[in-house]
Amino acid sequence: MLQIEHLCKSFGGVAATRDVSLGFPAGSLTAIIGPNGAGKTTFFNLVSGHLRPDSGRVVFEGRDVVGLSSLEIARRGMARAFQVASLFPSLTAREAMIAAVTAHQRRSWSLLRRFPLDGSRAKAEELLELLGLAGKADVMSSSLSHGDQKLLDIGLALAMEPKVLLLDEPTAGMGPDERWRMIEKVHHLWQAKRLTMIFIEHDMDIVFKYAQVVQVLKYGAVLAQGTPEEIRRNQEVIDAYLGTDHHLALAEEA
Amino acid sequence: MRAGLMRDLLVAMLGLLLLLALPMVFPQPSLRDFLIYVIAYGLLAMSLNLLVGLTGLVSFGHAAYFASGAYVFGLLMQSGAVSIPLAMLAAVGGTALLALVIGAICVRLKEIYFSFITLAFQMFIHSIILTWVDLTGGDQGLRGGIPRPPFLGIDLGEAHTLYAFAAVIFVLCLLVMRQVWQSPFGYTLRMIRDNPARANFLGVNVVRMKLGIFVLAGAMASMAGIIMALFVSGAFPEFGFWTTSGEAIFMIMLGGTQVFLGPVAGAFLLQLLNHYVTIYTHHHGLVLGVVILLIVLGLRRGVADFAAAWLAERRATVPPAPATPEPVKTKAAG
Amino acid sequence: MNLDVLASCFATASCAVTQVSTGLIVGMLLFLVASGLSLIFGVLGVINFAHGAFYMLGAYFAFLCFEQTGSFLAALVAGAAGAGIIGVLFERFFMSKVYGRDLLMQLLVCYAAILIFDDLVKILFGAEYKLMGMPESFATAPVEIAGGFIPGYYIFMLGMSLGIGLLLWLGINRTRLGKVIRALAINPQMVGALGINTTLLYAGVFGLGCMLAGTAGALAAPVRSLTPGMGLSVLIESFIVTVIGGMGSIPGALAAALLIGLTRAFGAIGFPLFVDGLMFALMGLVLVLRPSGLFGARAT
């Protein structure tokens, strides 16, 4: 589905991404972990077309998408949600979802009919239901709780009917309970939509519980990759990243 | 959806009836003249609000299209070659073309540059009007009056008929703008206003959408200019002067940008103010300036927005308050 | 349109010298106004739409002072200081209240300020044109260069505005205060955290910008007629200058101002009706090809 080959990017001499090669098979659920500054968000920006890599290929469904704009890449079926929810503050959740669906259906220019269009509305309601936002659909986006804003942000990405979804820290800024609720919803989405999903996450418990595959980045390069079991036992990862407090204990247990 | 359209049509009919009935109940010509001013400037302000309130584009040069409508219409009528409806169509079409050319340059710019450049282009149009004396009459305005030959049995030379005609055009334009507000196009413009980067990423062609509404707003402003030209039987460079744009901005601020008919209310309030100020003093600019400062710094928002927020607050305190809102960050950068 | 005249002017040294000198002083006045506008935008992030009013105020203050004292130097100082002080007051009491708020509100505050200043000038000085007249110290024979005559005052104006421009550039790029101001433009919180009074600094920068406009107005007073509303065309032209030169760039403002000044001077004899059109065409071209201006930060 998505194949990254020898991706490199540096900012003024500082290498943010060094020769990263990764594969994401269709329908997989992959977590990307790594200490702060490991280049995780940069990696997403490179893959989604927000940044242009210095070298390397991003092969999406058999085609190299490097050089395409972020919009073109999104239209081909690779969408992303942002670390800080990027919403439309003065629209309600429902209006925002419908408008996003309308945009994806290329009916934004429709002037002679009233908002919402039937087709767009049905699709948006379905997504709101899936996200568990149906009950809050008439709340202004700016008044939604932090977690619901992150969900709506994911919902806007889903409006583009992606095959691959990149989630940049879906649980950022949440308390422990809220994190688990959020990741359960994300997991549910992955199952319901049969997506290829890649998410950045800091909470190791979450990563080990939900991810099929874990990729560890450090200083912009791939440090290790494998199943949660393998990563847990990987001595390099333990030294570099997990080597503190209870994660060490976890590793020993395993 | 259909219900929404029906309701708007009904409101429009009632509004039109009210507008037509007013001069019958109060037959003073001065009231009729006052209302025509409110209609023309209200339409100008409404068209500007398509940019400011709906799309978040603060144009400081909207009077250019008001003037263009008035001058093109006036010149065509003076040529004697065309009927009123044809001249109106040509004036609207010509202005739309002008807006297309200017808009194509302006809509790519960041917000503050946009205000800046729209103002500059307006002053360019104004200077053309002033310097091309052979065509426009320079600072004297279009001389010799604008002929108003009857068409389809309608004689706009007759003051009552002219008023009714202006009222009908006004309500029709408002209906068109209402449709824009309530269409998928209108909601896409709201996305652009709130968060253009995200809208772009969701597949919206932000630049083309902005250009589309810029042209539409220009065309609507030209209608206002035509009404004005018909009423005063002339066109003057002040139509395209920056103060006219400034007044239009003040009208929408006064009436509020988020309530559909707010700008009309603003136009009404400003005309009322102008009316009384000119009676009592020559220093119109001084008084207007002070009033603007008082409202901007005192009330901090438009009268209609103020009222709407107050109503919403009252409504919100009755049922249990919703969860505490959190600030939304609108950065699209990841 | 009279391109023959234009061509023959280029061919004769005396005409070319006269037009170049006219173009240079028009350009240098624009440069002073535009660099003030650009400075305010660069540091405070707002466009002072009332900037033209400060140019007008500078001219009228100079006029008033010259009438009272007869000293041109005093008039110059009065024009600059008067516009600067009113600029600081305007920033403190009005403009600072709308920082970070809707652009609509900033526009309205400036709009109101222009209306008020124009009307006040009309009340105090009358609506008719005023002439300040040339100070006696400059009533000398014009300097002859290659058959063209340049009034002594023009040379003084050129020197003054070049000097001010240089001082400004040095002040911003070579002094500690300049460094703080540049830092303020990039990261105001950081500057505040260093214990520097940013509120005062903002007012100071705004006042300095207005002072530059006022200086231009005072310098222009002996050679231009004074009228309420005289600031508007200067404002629009300095917009064009900042767009062409690049917002926030002082060398850019200088280059663009001279370009516009010379375009005006030669356009006035070759195609007087199209001078404005040419200026706008230049601006449009720059916006389409290089939206950031020749020297500036990005506008799109």
Tens of pLDDT, residue by residue over A205-224, are 888 888 999 998 888 888 88
Kindly give, in sequence order, each residue whose CB lies less than 8 Å from that of residue B286, ignoring residues fewer than 6 positions away.
C115, C116, C119, C120, C123
Answer yes or no: do B1 and A113 touch at CB < 8 A: yes
Give the least confident one: B166-180, C13-27, C88-102, C125-139: C125-139
pLDDT of B100: 97
3-state secondary structure of C148: strand
Q: Is C126 on the interface with B (CB under 8 A)?
A: no
Q: Which range, C48-52, C104-108, C190-194, is most confident? A: C48-52
Q: Is C122 on the interface with B (CB under 8 A)?
A: yes
Answer yes or no: do B194 and A89 touch at CB < 8 A: yes
Answer yes or no: do C232 and B58 touch at CB < 8 A: no
pLDDT of C176: 87
Which other chains touch chain B, taking contact as 3+ CB pairs less than 8 Å apart?
A: A, C
pLDDT of B72: 95
Count CB neighbours of C194 within 10 A.
10
Q: What percent of chain B has pLDDT over 90?
A: 45
pLDDT of C1: 59
* Tokens 């004899």 found at: C269
Please give, rounded to a whole number of angstroms, the shortest distance from the CA of C105 to a CA of chain B.
6
Of A85, A99, A104, the CB nearest to B187: A99
> What are the chain C neighbours of B300 within 8 Å (beta carbons)?
105
State the sign of the Cα–Cα–Cα–Cα dihedral B91, B94, B96, B101.
Answer: negative
Q: 3-state SS of chain C: helix, strand, coil percent to 5?
A: 75, 5, 20
The number of residues in chain B equals 334
- For the record, the structure tokens of B256 come out as 């509020």
Angstrom distances, CA of residue C46 to CA of A96, B250, C109: 31, 19, 12
Cα maximum dimension of chain B: 68
Q: Give the pLDDT band of residue B75 (cuts 50, 70, 90).
A: very high
Write B92-96 long-range contacts (CB < 8 A, 24+).
Answer: B92/B219, B92/B222, B92/B223, B92/B226, B93/B219, B94/B68, B94/B222, B95/B65, B95/B68, B95/B69, B95/B218, B95/B219, B95/B221, B95/B222, B95/B225, B96/B215, B96/B216, B96/B218, B96/B219, B96/B222
User: What's the rounded Cα separation, in Å, for the pair C290 and B327?
Assistant: 36
Q: Report which secondary-structure segment, H or E, holds A222.
A: strand A221-226
User: What's the rounded Cα separation, in Å, for the pair C260 and A249?
Assistant: 73
Answer yes or no: do C97 and B111 touch at CB < 8 A: no
pLDDT of B93: 97
Which chain C residues in 25-44 lie under 8 Å from chain B, judged by CB atoms?
A: 41
> What is residue A117's DSSP assignment?
P
Kindly give, in sequence order, each residue whose CB lies less than 8 Å from that of residue C87, ignoring residues fewer than 6 positions away.
C54, C206, C207, C209, C210, C211, C214
B82-130 pLDDT, tens digit each: 999 999 999 999 999 999 999 998 898 877 788 888 988 898 898 888 8
A107-164 pLDDT, tens digit each: 888 888 888 888 888 999 999 988 888 888 899 998 888 888 999 999 999 998 899 9
Q: Is the pLDDT of residue C166 over 80?
A: yes
Q: Give the pLDDT band of residue C211 (cuts 50, 70, 90).
A: very high
> What are the chain B neighbours of C236 within 8 Å (beta carbons)?
119-120, 123
pLDDT of B51: 95
Of C107, C112, C232, the CB nearest to B289: C112
Answer yes or no: do A103 and B202 touch at CB < 8 A: yes
Q: Report which secondary-structure segment, H or E, holds C219.
A: helix C198-220
Q: Is C94 on the interface with B (CB under 8 A)?
A: yes
Q: Give the pLDDT band of residue A243 (cuts 50, 70, 90).
A: low
Mean pLDDT computed over every residue of chain B:
86
What is the mean predicted confidence (pLDDT) over B259-279?
A: 88
pLDDT of B120: 85
Count CB neighbours of B88 within 10 A.
22
> What are the chain A neighbours of B212 within 8 Å (beta carbons)?
109
AA identity, residue C111: Y
pLDDT of A58: 92
AA identity, residue B91: A
Answer yes or no: do B58 and C109 touch at CB < 8 A: no
Alpha helices in chain B (DSSP H): 2-25, 29-49, 63-79, 84-106, 111-131, 133-136, 159-182, 184-194, 196-201, 206-232, 242-255, 262-280, 284-294, 303-317
Q: Give the pLDDT band of residue B57 (cuts 50, 70, 90).
A: very high
- For the record, the structure tokens of C41 come out as 């935008």
Q: Is A74 on the interface with B (CB under 8 A)?
A: yes
B182-217 pLDDT, tens digit each: 999 999 999 999 999 888 888 888 999 999 999 999
* Tokens 């008044």 found at: A143
| Among the listed residues B107, B202, B181, B215, the one whose alpha carbon sits nearest the alpha carbon of residue A111 | B181
pLDDT of C9: 77
Answer yes or no: do C116 and B285 touch at CB < 8 A: yes
AA identity, residue C283: M
Domains of chain C: 3-289 (1.10.3470)
Residues of B with CB under 8 A from a CB of A: 1-2, 4-5, 179-180, 182-188, 190-191, 193-195, 197-205, 209, 212, 322-323, 325-334
What is the mean predicted confidence (pLDDT) over C25-40?
A: 91
> What are the chain A neighbours of B193 within 8 Å (beta carbons)?
90
Tell me the whole-structure pTM to 2 decimals. 0.86
Please give, rounded to a whole number of angstroms, the shortest distance from the CA of B57 to a CA of chain A.
16
Q: Is B299 on the interface with C (CB under 8 A)?
A: no
User: What's the rounded Cα separation, in Å, for the pair A223 and A22?
Assistant: 12
Answer yes or no: do B283 and C118 touch at CB < 8 A: no
Of C98, C107, C116, the CB nearest to B58: C107
Answer yes or no: do A115 and B209 touch at CB < 8 A: no
Tell me if there are at least 3 CB pairs under 8 Å linking chains C and B: yes
pLDDT of B215: 97
Greater pLDDT, B17 or A11 = B17
> What are the chain A neighbours of B179 within 8 Å (beta carbons)?
111-112, 114
Kindly give, in sequence order, each residue whose CB lies less than 8 Å from that of residue A11, ignoring residues fewer than 6 positions away.
none
Closest C-chain CA to B297: C97
What is the mean predicted confidence (pLDDT) over A175-180?
A: 86
Please give, rounded to a whole number of angstroms, the shortest distance from the CA of A254 to a CA of chain B.
35
pLDDT of B321: 40
What is the mean predicted confidence (pLDDT) over B148-177?
A: 90
How many cross-chain Cβ pairs, A to B, lie less than 8 Å apart? Answer: 138
Q: C178 burial class (0-12, 13-18, 19+ CB within 10 angstroms)?
A: middle
Of B252, B284, B297, the CB nearest to C94: B297
What is the mean predicted confidence (pLDDT) over C55-68?
A: 93
| Among the listed residues B226, B264, B269, B221, the one whose alpha carbon sits nearest the alpha carbon of residue B245 | B221
pLDDT of B68: 95
pLDDT of A253: 47
Backbone angles phi, psi at B224, to 5 degrees: -60, -40
- Partnered with residue A30 across adjacent β-strands are A198, A213
pLDDT of B298: 81
> What are the chain B neighbours of C300 within 8 Å (beta carbons)?
108-110
Which other chains touch chain A, taking contact as 3+ CB pairs less than 8 Å apart?
A: B
| Among the listed residues B330, B197, B203, B196, the one whose alpha carbon sits nearest the alpha carbon of residue A84 | B330
Q: Is A95 on the interface with B (CB under 8 A)?
A: yes
pLDDT of A156: 92
| CA count, 13 A, side-chain hemisphere, C238 | 34
B318-333 pLDDT, tens digit each: 544 444 444 444 433 3
Please give, rounded to a whole number of angstroms, the shortest distance from the CA of B204 to a CA of chain C.
17
Q: Is C171 on the interface with B (CB under 8 A)?
A: no
Q: What interhelical angle do A118-131 and A146-158 show, nearest 10? A: 130
pLDDT of B318: 53
AA identity, residue B2: R
pLDDT of A246: 47
